[in-house]
A and B are shown apart, each in its own frame.
Chain A
Amino acid sequence: MLEPAKRHARELARPVFYAEFASDTAAVDAARRLVERGHGVLDAFTPRPVAALEELVAPERSTLNRSVFVGGLIGACTGLGIEWACNAWDYPLNVGGRPPFALPAYIPITFEAMVLFASLTAFFGFLHRAGLPWLAHPAFEVPGFERASNDRFFLLVERAGANDEELQALLVELGALSVSGTPARETPRRDPDAVAVTPNTEPAE
């Protein structure tokens, strides 16, 4: 697993096209066709989850669940460990005649610590893997990208090793409402060139 920052840097280092589609079916069809033709579909941006697109762009399973398991385990050990250390090891006291290490009484906190650590792992593990927060992602500079959260479906198509004009034409042919692109660049952020290389074209429908 690559470090997310590096991975994103590499992702951004490639020249890409953002192709906008009107519906999930159009986007899925286009993505399939692009993949068949050997073009790399790096990502898809959709207003709601589209299972078929996810399968295309990220077929591998997330490893987040494993991290959560480990986080939970660490949490449980931490919880029980603190209880043991405080009450049975560092300062054992006779409290109501109960044994210093009273395991049944220590279960609730062990459980709570497990859930807490696991949950924090799940949440921050997700943010880490998704590279969030990233408030100034170049995608936001793509014209019309705000509709990606509303009713448009964007595909992120790799331009490397392909003719830009051909690919663009192909995307339009596959039903893209617009195709925007970013050139390859060294520093991914704050690039003044991150503008559309082609004007938006209205679909021919």
Chain B
Amino acid sequence: MADQLLQIRRRRSQEDELTRRRFLELVSASAALASGCSPDRPEKILPYTENPRDVTPGVSTYYATSLLIDGFATGLVATTREGRPVKIEGNPAHPASLGATNVWHQASVLELYDPDRGRAVSKRGLPATWDALDAFLARPVTGQGEKLRLLLEPTSSPLVHALVSAVKQRFPASKVTFYAPTPGQVPGAAARALFGATLAPRWDLSHADVVVALDADFLATPHDLRPARDFATRRRVRASDGAMNRLYVVEPSVSVTGSLADVRLARPARRVQLLAAALLAALDKRPDASNGALTRLAGALDDDERRFVAALVKDLASRAPGATLVLAGERQPAEVHVLAYALNVALGNLGATLSFSEQAVPETAGDQDLPALAREMHAGAVDALLVLGGNPAYDAPADLGWTRALQAVPVSLFAGLYANETARAATWYAPLAHPFETWGDGRAQDGTWSLVQPLIRSLHGARSVTELLAIVAGAPRTGDYARLRSAFGAPRGEVRRLDESGAERLEHTDPAVESAWERLLARGFDESTAFPRQVPEPRPAAVTDALTRLAARDAGSGLELDFLRSPTVHDGRFANLSWLLELPAPIVKLCWDNAFFMSPATAARLGIPAVERSEPHPVVEVSHESRSVRGPVVVLDGHADDTVSVWLGYGRDGDERLAKGVGFDAYRLRTNDAPSFASGASVKLRPERYPLAFTQLEERQHERALALTTTLAAYRAHPDFTAEHKRPLPSILPEYRFEGPAWAMSIDLTICSGCSACVVACQAENNVLVVGKEQVRNGRVMHWLRVDSYRVGSAKSARFVHQPMMCQHCGDAPCEYVCPVNATVHSPDGLNEMVYNRCVGTRFCSNNCPYKVRRFNWFDWSVHERANQGSVELQRNPEVSVRERGVMEKCTYCVQRIRAAEIRARIERREIRAGEVTSACAQACPTQAIRFGSLTHGATAMVEWRAEPRSYYALHETGARPRTMYLARVDNPNPELT
């Protein structure tokens, strides 16, 4: 036994090392993959003397692919270098991306290389082989599958659904469950009730003048970046006499959307239904709508809510039909969505700003829900359970007793990216391939069929969910590529051919099909597959039903507990990604932890002492239905009273080494009947304190001209209110003549939502290393780009202005003249350059930087911090040096991209074109609030924005003459509510 263990340990440690040889193997293999061969068969290793096709050393190659989050596909473009994916961008043509990305897309490339990913099949914790697992999967149960159960994550993938059907064909009596801990879309039941069909809403925010978000964080939808873009186009006020939309938000905590609101009402989530009912009562004039339930619900409002509703109703009524939009969030119950749809119907928005289409992730695909499955498991009605993805042992509702239920199942399999909590409880563990390692597909929210292309051969020989399903279904093991290829074209024309590198390719005999397939691969999706928009006919009775049900249900009282998807680690699936763990959460700026959030008034009522953000925080024990969890409290301005909100996804206890011990597990408080919010929680102060890592400690601006704000009315009255912040400053310094393009940035604070995608994009592009919680607490975070969030308005209805702050590339840079060794100087095209090799590390430049955007390598982070080590090093951008300890670093305006474009332009004997270069942050930005380009390129948005009256330079009075220009945040408050 001891010998065996020793062997296991040795093998693991060997696997931990991604050797050079192994890496080259992978690289050449993945290069061969790029030409479309199946990864199942062993390929010949190609020496680099004979270049694999499409790979030129030193030149990036780009592949269109997709990533599924919450089951929905977002089209992406992956940059690979010598066969290794290094950066993810949005696919500009893809409807769910529009070229933008969010933090999770950006971090997905880190997930690919995560050294903690599962590497081998195991059975009861001991190493096993794929062959043994295949044997089990080929025959998991006997008979018709009465005792076979499948548990999958909700997905839009037609391939997965087809294979699930195949499994059902082979085991007709088996049952399939789709489960995700946090809702990914609004409940289809609402549409089913109101329109008679399970439909998904399609919002058109680009035509809505008034947007009412009822607990809806639509600007931070994890899988769809279109709402944010559409909202921004209507939001951006172009001239001082321009128009902009108005955003009303009701929400318990402070979300990204809420921070941007013009009118923000912080209320417990359970009161949203009352507000929706009150709105409906005031707006829907039909006689049957004014029933007793409605008046009862609407009558429960307090004074502030009544004022809010009155003003909102007046505003909505004053708008043209179809020019408004009422949104309810996916956390809210179906009844509230019925009311929201009814409101839109009453406002004439149906068919205008609101239409419907088929659900891309079909809610009805499963046979039973998780509680039913758990009941069966407890009852011993399950012999074999196949959990393909997800992490139910960690995130299932606490009252299901999931782990005990799993123990009642004789044989279970967990297939996942990591050997997580569920893997530990299951019999078998199979490592799942990362989306960048497999073929696959999915649909965007609007139905667009998007391809998942592998970018590299599976690093650990892992397999995809579809491959496992195919074995269970007894389908021929042709591989995902063949299956996908077959789904696309007529299967009968396929032949296998050898390409010039000797690898096998699947080709079609019909050249038209073949070229269409190649086009699809190149584009990454097929736009013709988007679901048609529908404008269904509402049934008014459904509204009455919903109202009656709401009125009958006890809305709950006492302290409300709100379970929120973490803005950084989602539902916990990304909890091992150091970029996300260290990403300061939007608005709160907390990283490496979660916490219980509450308003100052509630904290005072509960006797929780006020502390500075830098001090250790008080710890509370929050109890709900006999379960309790301990965690630190963060008092948050703008949080609803009588509510405690908490991020899910922390307190992980799987094999993920970074995630372990970060934060606490709030799932343990969550029950099946109240997955999003629950009433009746109690809070008890504990004697201990817990230190938290915030990147921003102060939320007011202290009269500094950093992030300027105004209102639309004030802007119209005084368009030149920023004149003081961009006037020419007297100077005795000479005027430098810059040559070539003049790189610059314009950032519109009005449409910056603070989502922080730019921060992770910058980190991925520029090899920004993570430093860990202790060092963040020490003030040594390395992000080149930070998003500062300053409070606007009173503490009670706080909103936040977000300011992406990075090196401003000052013309008269204060950092430069204080450097004793000329390590930071100005380039002829006006960049503030940081020469790492020349830096001796006096840190004088940082002291003299008014924007405090310079970062210092206090240690050799790649040695000092474990999160930077191991295979994640493969993600590093070869165009950007990894900085040595002791040198200063900062935003370079992505100079490597500028220089690459220069080289391209020189080879082609031309000037750099407008729009040819953009920075990583600007490229990622979902609302396009960051614009990058050259001042010499004329009519680009970046240049035109600077001419707008509200443009200004941050801290202009310091005389640094920055290149980055901000556009002041304009809010459009309702005058009746100010």
Residues of A within 8 A of B (CB): 93-99, 105
Q: Check A96–B816 contact: CB distance below 8 A.
A: yes
B222 within 8 A of A: no
Q: Check A96–B734 contact: CB distance below 8 A.
A: no
Q: Check A97–B961 contact: CB distance below 8 A.
A: yes
Identify 18 residue pairs between A and B in the complex whose beta-carbon atoms are under 8 Å apart, listed by A's number. A93-B822, A94-B825, A94-B826, A95-B816, A95-B825, A96-B814, A96-B815, A96-B816, A96-B817, A97-B733, A97-B734, A97-B736, A97-B811, A97-B812, A97-B813, A97-B816, A97-B826, A99-B734
Q: Check B826–A95 contact: CB distance below 8 A.
A: yes
C-alpha spacing A98/B818, complex, angstroms = 11
Chain B contacts for A93, CB-based, 8 A: 822, 825-826
Q: How far is the CB of A185 from chain B (nearest CB, A)?
A: 58
Q: How far is the CB of B762 from chain A (nearest CB, A)?
A: 24
Q: How far is the CB of A88 from chain B (nearest CB, A)?
A: 12
For the complex with contacts A94-B828, A96-B812, A96-B815, 8 further pairs of A-B residues with Cβ separation under 8 Å are A94-B825, A95-B825, A96-B810, A96-B813, A96-B814, A96-B817, A96-B818, A97-B813
Q: Which chain A residue shows the least CB distance to B731?
A: A97
C-alpha spacing A93/B815, complex, angstroms = 14
Q: Which chain B residue shows the least CB distance to A102?
A: B817
Q: Which chain B residue shows the least CB distance to A105?
A: B817
Q: Which 3 pairs of residues, A with B, have the shortest CB-CB distance?
A: A96-B817, A96-B816, A97-B812
Per-residue contact bits, chain B 961-974, to A (CB 8 Å; 1 contact, 0 not): 10000000000000
C-alpha spacing A105/B961, complex, angstroms = 21
Q: How far is the CB of B847 from chain A (nearest CB, A)?
A: 14
Chain A contacts for B818, CB-based, 8 A: 96
Chain A contacts for B814, CB-based, 8 A: 96
Q: Which chain A residue shows the least CB distance to B822?
A: A93
Identify the interface centre among B810, B818, B822: most chain A CB within 10 Å of its CB.
Answer: B822
C-alpha spacing A60/B825, complex, angstroms = 56
C-alpha spacing A105/B826, complex, angstroms = 19
What range describes how many residues of B lie at the interface? 10 to 19
Q: How far is the CB of A203 from chain B (nearest CB, A)?
A: 67
Q: How far is the CB of A148 from chain B (nearest CB, A)?
A: 50
C-alpha spacing A93/B819, complex, angstroms = 13
Q: How far is the CB of A180 from chain B (nearest CB, A)?
A: 60
C-alpha spacing A97/B827, complex, angstroms = 11
Q: How far is the CB of B893 from chain A (nearest CB, A)?
A: 16
Q: Which chain A residue shows the least CB distance to B813?
A: A96
Per-residue contact bits, chain B 800-820, to A (CB 8 Å; 1 contact, 0 not): 000000000011111111110
Chain B contacts for A95, CB-based, 8 A: 816-817, 819, 822, 825-826
Q: How far is the CB of B881 from chain A (nearest CB, A)?
A: 21
Chain B contacts for A94, CB-based, 8 A: 736, 825-826, 828
Q: Which chain B residue shows the least CB distance to A94?
A: B826
Q: Which chain A residue shows the least CB distance to B826?
A: A94
C-alpha spacing A94/B734, complex, angstroms = 10
Chain A contacts for B813, CB-based, 8 A: 96-97
Chain A contacts for B817, CB-based, 8 A: 95-96, 98, 105
C-alpha spacing A96/B736, complex, angstroms = 10
Within 8 A of A (CB), among B190-227: none
Chain A contacts for B812, CB-based, 8 A: 96-98
Q: Which chain B residue shows the least CB distance to A95?
A: B816
Chain B contacts for A105, CB-based, 8 A: 817
Chain B contacts for A97, CB-based, 8 A: 733-734, 736, 811-813, 816, 826, 961
Q: Which chain A residue shows the least CB distance to B814?
A: A96
C-alpha spacing A93/B822, complex, angstroms = 8
Within 8 A of A (CB), among B823-851: 825-826, 828
Per-residue contact bits, chain B 293-309, to A (CB 8 Å; 1 contact, 0 not): 00000000000000000
Chain A contacts for B734, CB-based, 8 A: 97, 99
C-alpha spacing A16/B113, complex, angstroms = 92
Chain A contacts for B733, CB-based, 8 A: 97-99
Q: How far is the CB of B822 from chain A (nearest CB, A)?
A: 6
Q: How far is the CB of B714 from chain A (nearest CB, A)?
A: 34
Q: How far is the CB of B830 from chain A (nearest CB, A)?
A: 9
C-alpha spacing A16/B817, complex, angstroms = 65
Q: Which chain A residue shows the least CB distance to B959?
A: A97
C-alpha spacing A94/B810, complex, angstroms = 12
Chain A contacts for B815, CB-based, 8 A: 96
Q: Which chain B residue shows the least CB distance to A91?
A: B822
Chain B contacts for A98, CB-based, 8 A: 733, 812, 817
C-alpha spacing A99/B810, complex, angstroms = 16
Identify the interface centre among A95, A96, A98: most chain B CB within 10 Å of its CB.
Answer: A96
C-alpha spacing A97/B961, complex, angstroms = 10
C-alpha spacing A95/B812, complex, angstroms = 8
Chain B contacts for A96, CB-based, 8 A: 810, 812-818, 826
Identify the interface centre among A97, A99, A105: most chain B CB within 10 Å of its CB.
Answer: A97
Chain A contacts for B810, CB-based, 8 A: 96
Q: Which chain A residue shows the least CB distance to B832?
A: A96
Per-residue contact bits, chain B 735-747, to A (CB 8 Å; 1 contact, 0 not): 0100000000000
Per-residue contact bits, chain B 771-812, to A (CB 8 Å; 1 contact, 0 not): 000000000000000000000000000000000000000111
Per-residue contact bits, chain B 709-742, to A (CB 8 Å; 1 contact, 0 not): 0000000000000000000000001101000000
Per-residue contact bits, chain B 56-81, to A (CB 8 Å; 1 contact, 0 not): 00000000000000000000000000
Q: Which chain A residue shows the least CB distance to B737?
A: A94
Q: Which chain B residue shows the least CB distance to A100?
A: B734
C-alpha spacing A96/B809, complex, angstroms = 10
Q: How far is the CB of A96 from chain B (nearest CB, A)?
A: 3
Q: How far is the CB of B854 from chain A (nearest CB, A)?
A: 14
Q: How far is the CB of A138 from chain B (nearest CB, A)?
A: 52
Q: Which chain B residue shows the least CB distance to A86?
A: B822
Q: Which chain A residue shows the least CB distance to B830?
A: A94
C-alpha spacing A99/B812, complex, angstroms = 11
Q: How far is the CB of A132 from chain B (nearest CB, A)?
A: 38
Q: How far is the CB of A135 from chain B (nearest CB, A)?
A: 42
Q: How far is the CB of A170 from chain B (nearest CB, A)?
A: 68
C-alpha spacing A95/B825, complex, angstroms = 5
C-alpha spacing A31/B819, complex, angstroms = 63
Q: Which chain A residue shows the least CB distance to B811?
A: A97
C-alpha spacing A97/B815, complex, angstroms = 11
C-alpha spacing A96/B825, complex, angstroms = 7
